Amino acid sequence: MTIYILEDEKNILKHIMALVSDIPYLQVVGYSADVAKAVTEIPQLQPELILADIQLKDGNSFSLFNKINVESSQIIFITAYDQYAIQALNLGAFAYLLKPIETNIFNETVDRCFKKTEEHKFNRQQLELSSNYYKGDTRPRKIALKNFKFTQIVPIEDILYCKSDKGYTTFLLKDGSSVLVSKILKDYEPLLPTDTFIRCHQSYLVNGNYISKYFKDGYLEMLTGDKVPVSDRKRDIVQEFIERL
């Protein structure tokens, strides 16, 4: 997450920089002690998060944010004055922290902001992909699988099955490769067509086009030879699904 810092007290700026450096997903792209510099830099840099003091040397950050477009940025105000809280929230700020900054509160607030930003990006990305339809069909053609290193765009027809474990989901693809993403299976299930994919187990979502055999004692065999469990309560549903293929 890219971040811009507005702070005119050197010691506090140094402290904020130290807090930010301990959070691996944050990247400082700029900082300023005055409105005159920030009014030019923020629109150019388009940071995802702005940490802003309210009272600056040449004005206040409220006047700054009324001059520039910050709709694509989250704002966390950090100030010694609590009388501005309502004004900050009316501006659409994500949070309002008082000085001196408590490390735990700072970390928790930034983490919530990061998760909200990532969720928004994920939903927007999936929506864009879902708008790429088959001709005459409303099914999405591709899905974006994102982890901390990259985002891989995968044709839905190439997914053999998905396996969820401890908050992560692994997508097994027909070329033998796999993609691990840091989201649960439930987040992806609505994005995959129900006439093709079946939730056969709490931890598995399977592409019916790659099912080779269904064993009534509780598992599926894929064309690759992989065996996927079928939970007891899903057996009738899986049987009906297979009969429709």
Of the listed ranges 9-13, 27-31, 116-120, the least confidently predicted one is 116-120
Q: What is the mean pLDDT of residues 83-109?
A: 84
pLDDT at residue 135, rounded to an integer: 43
pLDDT band at 134 (very low <50, low <70, confident <90, very high): very low
pLDDT digits (tens, 9 = 90+) for 155-184: 999 999 999 988 889 999 999 999 999 888
pLDDT at residue 89, rounded to an integer: 65
pLDDT band at 244 (very low <50, low <70, confident <90, very high): confident
10: amino acid identity, one letter:
K
pLDDT at residue 169, rounded to an integer: 92
Q: By the 8 A CB rule, do 52 and 16 touch?
A: no
Percent of the chain topping pLDDT 90: 53
Q: What is the mean pLDDT of residues 141-148?
A: 82
Residue 110 CA: distances (Å) to CA of 12, 48, 75, 115:
17, 11, 10, 9
Q: Taking the domain 2-124, which CATH number applies?
A: 3.40.50.2300
pLDDT at residue 133, rounded to an integer: 45
Cβ density class 148-183: b for 16+ within 10 Å, e for less: eeeeeebebebbbbbbbeeeebebbbbeeeebebeb
The CA distance from 73 to 113, in Å, is 10
pLDDT at residue 40, rounded to an integer: 94
Q: What is the mean pLDDT of residues 133-154?
A: 71
Percent of the chain topping pLDDT 70: 91
pLDDT digits (tens, 9 = 90+) for 27-62: 999 999 999 999 999 999 999 999 999 989 898 898
Examine the pLDDT at 92 and tell me if it is beyond 90: no
Examine the pLDDT at 140 and tell me if it is beyond 70: no
Instruction: Provide the residue ranges of all domains of the chain, joining segments of one domain with +.
Output: 2-124, 142-244
Query: 3-class DSSP state for residue 6?
Result: strand
CATH fold of the domain at 142-244: OB fold (Dihydrolipoamide Acetyltransferase, E2P) (2.40.50)
Residues found in the chain:
245
pLDDT band at 126 (very low <50, low <70, confident <90, very high): low
Per DSSP, the chain holds a count of helices (H) and strands (E) of 7, 17
pLDDT at residue 166, rounded to an integer: 81
Q: What is the mean pLDDT of the chain?
A: 87
The H-or-E segment that residue 217 falls in is none
CA 204: distance to chain centroid? 22
Categorise residue 220: left if φ over 0, alpha if ψ from -120 to 50, beta otherwise.
Answer: beta
Whether 142-244 and 2-124 are alike in CATH topology: the answer is no
The CA distance from 159 to 202, in Å, is 18
Q: By the 8 A CB rule, do 2 and 25 touch?
A: no
Q: What is the mean pLDDT of residues 146-150?
A: 79
Give 185's contacts (C-beta < 8 A, 6+ positions apart). Answer: 162, 163, 164, 169, 203, 204, 205
Secondary structure, 3-state, 26-81? CEEEEEECCHHHHHHHHHHHCCCEEEECCEECCEEHHHHHHHCCCCCCEEEEEECC
